Every structure is written in structure tokens, then in C-alpha cells.
Amino acid sequence: MSAPTTPRSLGRRALLGGASAVGLAVGTGALHEAVAASSRQGRLPATADAVVVGGGISGLVAARKLAAKGLDVVLLEARGRVGGRVLNHHLSGPGTRGATIESGGAFVGPTQDHVLKLAKELGVRTFQEYNEGNSVYVSSLTGRQEYSGTVPPDPTILPDAAVLLSRIDSMAAEIPVDAPWTHESAADWDQQTLGEWIRANAINADGIENLIKSWTQPGFGADPDELSLLYVLWYVACSGNETNVGTFSRNSDTADGAQESRIVGGSQLIPLGLAKKLGDIVTLHAPVRRIVQQHGRVEVHSDRGTVRAKRVIVAAPPPLVLDIDWFPHLPTKRLQLLRHLDMGQLMKCDAVYKKPFWRDAGLNGFGLNDSGAARAVFDNSPKTGEPGVLLAFVGGATWREYGVLPKDQRRQAILEGFAALFGEEALHPIDYVEHDWTKERWTTGAPVANYAPGTMVQFGPSIRKPFGRVHWAGTETSTYWTGYMDGAVRAGERAAIEVAEQLR
Ligand SMILES: Cc1cc2nc3c(=O)[nH]c(=O)nc-3n(C[C@H](O)[C@H](O)[C@H](O)COP(=O)(O)OP(=O)(O)OC[C@H]3O[C@@H](n4cnc5c(N)ncnc54)[C@H](O)[C@@H]3O)c2cc1C
């Protein structure tokens, strides 16, 4: 272990201490400035015990855990900010009250124990997503309906939904979350897409496939025909914890589900809080370009300089790992795995209103539409309910249709989609904001990197396998809540434990 220096090796108390240490009473803007100021300025150290590549939640958690063990850690983040796929947006237009909404990951829910525990440690509070009253469903066949519960009462869909969703749950319940490729039907399930399976098993395939699209487009940034069935079943299996088996409804629902709560002040308070505690362990504007393993060391070359370390944790999204120049080359199976893991296509589009007017009409702001730009809609208002915000996830085929339009045309299509669900008032927002994750250089898509058919069985087993002195973090390597903030926390913790064991 290298001689500890302050503050690169912070004391356990500083790293694990509570809210007061982070000072989360201040907003994101002030925290951004504090993180930028406390992050490493000037040259990188020549050596470290461990280098962490990527300052998303996963990398920050890994760095914190290693530093708390007294190890000398350097975290290299490509962007000029931390948080990766988690990003707050401050509304600034008249009447928006300077409220904060999220452009990236936002919701948390039951069994996401690791991110909830972390939020608590950092003094970050959660609040319940508004869920009073009815949801709205618009079908091109049956028109507009208000409903409660998980599945809209569309008679052309209900019989298939009852059968297929419960089959998804029972198939998922058999899948080992740490080795889905070992299931006896893994090869069969992995060679078909979710779409093929729906069409082979539904009475009215079009209806149920359309409904399931409104789950896969926000949840994967993809459509049923792009996703391996085995992968989707595993994703459902991962929607739980060690004592609660994963279920479709825990993944898709607001009440008792992954969309149950949000973070007061925006979810980026979590990575910002972590980075503030890490101080100059964090180096911003430091994209890693080359990783060389030789002579029992790893050299990590970044735009801010080179660090020689005993171990490295890579916590970048899978496709970004391919941009790094590796010596020696990545093992073939890992290379193939990364080449077959594609980020979804997803943007968030938010319309801001003086008040959440839909609530007065007894509606909770959740809506599904089987066509148009706004197919999966949530109430995205801050805790105070002022201003009112409607959020549309535009993902997969819907992104390919509307994501490529000029902004004013997309805005109009989104507002018309909101109006179809919640009435004409939705056409007149006081502000409109959108964020397209496919355009982010250091993410390239969202919310997660997906497995195409055939990938999981052939290449999945290498997902967490260390490559020499290089270990893998990032939400995609988690065995619970993969694709989510909770998965990012769990993966960072697991990778840090692997490295700490090697450096003992
Ligand atoms: C629109 C959207 C909605 C979402 N909704 C939810 C939700 O409601 N709830 C939920 O739990 N999750 C949600 N997610 C997913 C969640 O945000 C992610 O699972 C989680 O943030 C991933 O964290 P990570 O640390 O694994 O990866 P990332 O956040 O992607 O962090 C990786 C970091 O690596 C950096 N990097 C990449 N390449 C390099 C390099 N060469 N050198 C140095 N640094 C590099 C990147 O800049 C980035 O900061 C959503 C995501 C998006 C985008």
C-alpha cells in the first residue's frame, strides 16, 4: 500500500460521515462548484494503489469504499462533472420557481436497498412520486380511458396481459441473477427476442406488444424485437433483492415499484455528495484513453496525465470501454460481449406548467398511449407540486421517429401527446426542456446497455470476470437492479471488495 497522503486517502469518518459533512442543505449548483473546487487541480500523482475510471455513481461508490480502507485512490472522470447518467436540470424560466428536475436517472423504490442506504448516509431525502387518483390510457382502437392498477382495462389486451405477465414472472423467478446463462432453457430463451415470444404466445399479439413497448421504451430505450428474451427475464429477476424475488410489477409500477419515490432536490445530489466527500480523489476532464498492463502494474493514460496503479476498476458504460486503447487487447469473449451490448436510445421530454392541473381532475399524471410521441408519461413535479411537470420518455422506435425531428416539431408532438392524456391545458406549458442521451459523448445512449439475442449465453459469463489487474463496475455488472442507480451502487461496492481483497 502506498503511503497515505491527505486528502487522497481520506479518513473513514470523512468518507462515511453523515449529511453534515456533505452539506446537502445547499442546492446542486453550489455543490457542483464545491466539487469542481475540491477536485484534483494540476498534475496527477505518478502512482496509486487503485485507479477508478468513471465518476458515475458506481465509480464514486467504488472509490469511496477503497479510500475508506486506507487505500490510495485516484478517480478519473471524462466529463467536467460527476454523475454520468444521473443529471439534475434547473428550471429557470418565469414561473418555474427555479425547481430542479432530473434529465437522467430519477426514481427509486422498494428493494433498492443499497442506493436508499447511500442516500440516507449522505443526508439526501426521498419523497413519494405523486400517485393519487387515476392513470390514463389512450388506445387507437378503444379511445381514452381512466384506470387504476398496473394494466389498462383494454379488453383487447387484458386476457394476454394476465397470462403473459404472470408467465414472465414465473420464468424470471427460476433465473439465477448471478448466472442467467446457466438456466436449463437459457439457450432457447436467448435465441429469441421478447417480441418473437410475445407473438408466439399471445391471442392478440399487436395489443399486448404495444403495451409492453410502453414498458421497454422507457425501461430499456429499445423495443421488444431488439431484446433477448433471456435478458428481459433476467432484468425482471434482478428487480428485487436477496430476500424478495424480482417481479414485473416491482419493475414497472409506481406503488410498491421502481417508480415509487424520487429524490428531494434531484438524484444528482447523490453523486455530488459522494464526490464532495472524495475531494481531490476525483479528477474531472480526465478521459482515459489507454490502459496498459505490464511488469505487474497497470498504467492508466488520461488527458490529465498517467497514473501507475496496482489495480484498476473500470466503471464506464460498456460501449465506452471499447473506446479505450487496451494493451494487451481485451480478451476475445469480453471484446465480443462489449461489441454486442448496445446502449438504448432514450430522451426525456418535460413540459412545465404553473400547477399540476391534472391533479385537480383526479389524475395522478401517469399515462400510456399506444401511439404518438408521448407513450409513457409521468408526473415529474418537484415535491412541493410547484411547478407542475409532465415527463415523457421517448425511447426505442419512438425515439427513432421523434428524436430525429427538429426540436419545435418534437415539442409540438409531445404536447399533443400530453393533451390527448390530460386535456387541452397541456398544450400551453410555461417551459419545455428535453435531454437526448444518444448525443452524450460519454454515455452514447440510455438508460442501459442491452443484450441482443444470443449475446448473454455466449458472452455473458465474462461480465464480471477481471482482466488481469482490471476489475469491472458499472450498473450493467450488477446482479440486482442492473440498469438502475441501485445496481450502480451494488456494482461499485462489489468491485471495490474484489480490489481490496487483492491489495490486502
Ligand atoms: C434518461 C434516463 C432515465 C433513467 N431512469 C432511471 C430511474 O428512474 N431510476 C434508476 O435507478 N435509474 C435510472 N436510470 C439509469 C441510471 O441512471 C444508471 O443505471 C446509473 O446512473 C448508472 O451509473 P454508472 O455509474 O454505472 O454509469 P454512468 O452513470 O454511465 O457513469 C459512467 C461514468 O464514466 C465516465 N466515462 C466514460 N468513459 C470514460 C473514460 N474513457 N474515461 C473516464 N471516464 C469515462 C462517464 O462520463 C460517466 O460519468 C436512467 C438513466 C437515464 C439516462
**Can you give the CATH number for the domain in which 482 is found?**
3.50.50.60
Residue 279 Cβ < 6 Å to ligand 1: no
Residue 443 Cβ < 6 Å to ligand 1: yes
Query: Does 447 reside within a domain?
Result: no
Query: Does 226 reside within a domain?
Result: no
Residue 304 Cβ < 6 Å to ligand 1: no
Q: What is the distance between the alpha carbons of residues 273 and 305, in angstroms, rounded to a whole number?
A: 26
Phi and psi at 479, nearest 5°, equal -105, -10
Q: Which residues are CB-neighbours of 37 under 8 A, at least 6 positions away?
A: none
Query: Which residues of the chain, if any, have pLDDT below 50?
Result: 1-9, 18-25
What grid cell was written down for 471?
476489475
How far apart are the CA of 159 and the centre of ligand 1, in A?
A: 37
What grid cell was written down for 69?
480502507
Residue 346 Cβ < 6 Å to ligand 1: yes
How far apart are the CA of 56 and the centre of ligand 1, in A?
A: 6
How far apart are the CA of 115 and the centre of ligand 1, in A?
A: 14
In this structure, are residues 197 and 229 in contact, taking their beta carbons and an 8 Å threshold? Answer: yes
How far apart are the CA of 124 and the centre of ligand 1, in A?
A: 19
How far apart are the CA of 206 and the centre of ligand 1, in A?
A: 33
CA angle 162, 164, 166 (to 5 degrees): 65
Rounded to two decimals, the pTM is: 0.96
Query: Does 459 reside within a domain?
Result: no
Residue 77 lies in domain: 12-84+267-330+467-503
Q: For the chain, give the percent of residues with pLDDT over 70.
A: 95
- Hey, whose CA ends up nearest to atom 34 of ligand 1? 54
Amino acid, res. 495 = A
Query: Does 316 reside within a domain?
Result: yes
Query: Does 289 reside within a domain?
Result: yes
Q: Using only the alpha carbons of the chain, give its radius of gyration.
A: 22
Query: Does 397 reside within a domain?
Result: no
Residue 220 Cβ < 6 Å to ligand 1: no
- Match 383494454 to its residue by C-alpha cell: 154
Q: What is the distance between the alpha carbons of residues 70 and 58, in angstroms, rounded to a whole number?
A: 19
How far apart are the CA of 72 and the centre of ligand 1, in A?
A: 24
DSSP string, 274-306: HHHHHGGGEESS--EEEEEEETTEEEEEETTEE
Could you tell me how many residues make up the chain? 504
Residue 379 Cβ < 6 Å to ligand 1: no
Alpha carbons within 13 A on the beta-carbon side of 315: 38
Residue 395 Cβ < 6 Å to ligand 1: no
Query: Does 18 reside within a domain?
Result: yes
In this structure, are residues 264 and 127 in contact, taking their beta carbons and an 8 Å threshold? Answer: yes
How far apart are the CA of 488 and the centre of ligand 1, in A?
A: 8
What grid cell was written down for 458?
455466449
- Hey, whose CA ends up nearest to atom 10 of ligand 1? 484
For position 29, what pLDDT does the model report?
A: 84
Query: Quick check: helix, strand or coil at residue 147?
Result: strand
How far apart are the CA of 256 and the centre of ligand 1, in A?
A: 24
What is the 8-class DSSP label of residue 446? S
Q: Which residues are CB-neighbours of 283 under 8 A, at least 6 positions away?
A: 39, 40, 44, 74, 75, 76, 77, 302, 304
Residue 485 Cβ < 6 Å to ligand 1: yes
For position 181, what pLDDT does the model report?
A: 98
Query: Alpha helices, DSSP H only, in 378-454?
Result: 396-398, 407-422
Alpha carbons within 13 A on the beta-carbon side of 494: 23
Q: From 251, 303, 394, 485, give the residue whose CB has the most ligand 1 atoms within 8 Å, as the site to mutate.
A: 485
How far apart are the CA of 320 and the centre of ligand 1, in A?
A: 11
* Packed helices 229-237 and 205-220: angle between N→C axes, nearest 10 degrees: 60
What is the 8-class DSSP label of residue 470? E
Q: Is the Cα torsion angle 257, 215, 212, 477 positive or negative in sign? A: negative
Query: Does 80 reside within a domain?
Result: yes
User: In ligand 1, which atom is closest to the CA atom of 85?
Assistant: 29
How far apart are the CA of 39 and the centre of ligand 1, in A?
A: 20
Q: What is the distance between the alpha carbons of residues 167 and 349, in angstroms, rounded to a whole number?
A: 33
For position 305, what pLDDT does the model report?
A: 98
Amino acid, res. 126 = T
- Hey, whose CA ends up nearest to atom 31 of ligand 1? 56
- Hey, whose CA ends up nearest to atom 6 of ligand 1? 105
For position 235, what pLDDT does the model report?
A: 98
For position 23, what pLDDT does the model report?
A: 43
Report the run of H or E that residue 313 belongs to, with start and end: strand 305-314
3-state secondary structure 81-135: CCCCCCCEEECCCCCCCCCEEECCCCCECCCCHHHHHHHHHHCCCEEECCCCCEE
- Count of CB atoms within 10 A of residue 369's CB? 24
Helices (H) and strands (E) in the chain, counts: 19, 21
336-381 pLDDT per residue, tens:
999 999 999 999 999 999 999 999 999 999 999 999 999 999 999 9
For position 212, what pLDDT does the model report?
A: 96
User: In ligand 1, which atom is closest to the CA atom of 485?
Assistant: 11
Nearest to 493, CA basis, from 154, 102, 115, 122: 115
State the total domains in the chain. 1
Edge-first strand order for the sheet with 376-379 is: 143-147, 134-139, 363-369, 376-379, 388-395, 346-353, 431-436
